[in-house]
Amino acid sequence: MDTPFRSPLALMLRYGLLSILAFMVVCPLAWLALASLRPQAEIFQPVSEFGWHTFIPSRLTLDNYRALWNGDFPLAVKNSVFVAFMTVVFGIVVNALAGFAFAAFDFRGKNLLFLLVIISFMMPFEAIVLPLYVMIRAFGWANSYQALIVPEIANGMVIFLFRQFFASIPRDFYEAARVDGASWLYIFTRIAMPLSWPTIATSGLMLFLAQWDSFFWPVVAASAPDYAVVQVAIARNINFEQNDWGGLFASTNIAILLGTIPFLLIQRFYVRTLISGGIK
């Protein structure tokens, strides 16, 4: 036997500890999920009288969700989905093209430009909010979809990811295609992009999450109710004379659930790596 011997006690400790940690992580989420299914009046009652009722509701109801459905939350979801989708589509095209240029071409000022790209994602967003807002205003884009989408398309981190990936594709692929008569655009669309599914998936996810979670910029740039995104809509429900806790919890829940869908969809792309096999 070459697996090291583990005493049952050590194993029990190990799994015990892990279970506690897992419980601590899941507990608030579970509580949130359950709370959203309780009648308004009952939400905080079990907390003050801690017991099994804290976790097991006496009665399940969809009232909170129904109320949400009839309010302006569906519009916020629609806005968020639209904004995130457009950002992902345009973001992948633009950032992949930029990354490809950095990886495949030699041009003057390339290193300086790449340094700026890296700096751009090191820089806290808060630092550029004001100038960005001034610009958006000057374009006449305040309170519009463009204001939400366009500034998020170019993403230094995603450019960086694509550059790293394209630089790792052996140059021979590009050169073989060039000798065979391919243009650079053809090489980009038919060779570089088809090989980069894992990077596309990761980048898409990053762009999606950035939009799905974004709060600060939408509040600044598009706070009109017509353009409110999910996070903005949720925040509207938080105030000091709070009485719609159910609505808040239900909307948070929906935001979380919808946010995980892209993860589940693209998981399988992480497993497959296409790059192997063509070389050597």
Partner 1 sequence: MSTMTIDNLRKSFGATEILRGIDLDVADGEFVALVGPSGCGKSTLLRLIAGLEEASSGSISIDGRDVTRLPPKGRDVAMVFQNYALYPHLTVRANMGFSLKLRGDDKATIDSKVTDAAAVLGLDALLERYPGQLSGGQRQRVATGRAIVRDPKLFLFDEPLSNLDAKLRAQMRTEIKALHQRLKNTMIYVTHDQIEAMTLADRIVVMQAGRIEQQGAPLDLYDRPANAFVGGFLGSPAMNFVKGILGSGLFLAEDGTQLPVPDGFDAEQGRSVLWGVRPEAIGPVDQGFSGVVEVVEPTGPDTQLLVRVAGQPLVVLMHKRMRVSPGDQMTLGVQGADIHLFDAADGRRLHL
Where along the sequence are the contacts to partner 1 (CB under 8 A)?
170, 172-173, 175-183, 186, 191, 194-195, 274-280
Q: Shortest gap between Cβ of 182 and partner 1 (angstroms)? A: 6
Tokens of 280: 């050597």
At residue 131, what is the residue type?
Answer: P
Q: Shortest gap between Cβ of 271 and partner 1 (angstroms)? A: 15
Find, among 59, 67, 52, the residue nearest to 38 by Cα.
59
Residue 188's contacts (CB-CB under 8 Å, 6 or more residues apart) are 96, 97, 100
Q: Shortest gap between Cβ of 280 and partner 1 (angstroms)? A: 5
Q: Please say which residue, 4 or 277, places its beta carbon nearer to partner 1.
A: 277
Q: Shortest gap between Cβ of 209 and partner 1 (angstroms)? A: 27
Q: Please say which residue, 154 or 191, places its beta carbon nearer to partner 1.
A: 191
Q: Shortest gap between Cβ of 113 and partner 1 (angstroms)? A: 21
> How does DSSP classify residue 123?
S
Q: Please say which residue, 75 or 176, places its beta carbon nearer to partner 1.
A: 176
At residue 45, what is the residue type?
Answer: Q
Pair 200, 193: CB distance under 8 Å: yes
Q: Please say which residue, 127 or 271, places its beta carbon nearer to partner 1.
A: 271
Half-sphere exposure of 161 (CA within 13 A, CB side): 23
Burial class (CB in 10 A: 0-12, 13-18, 19+), 39: middle
d(CA 160, CA 155): 9
Q: Please say which residue, 187 or 205, places its beta carbon nearer to partner 1.
A: 187
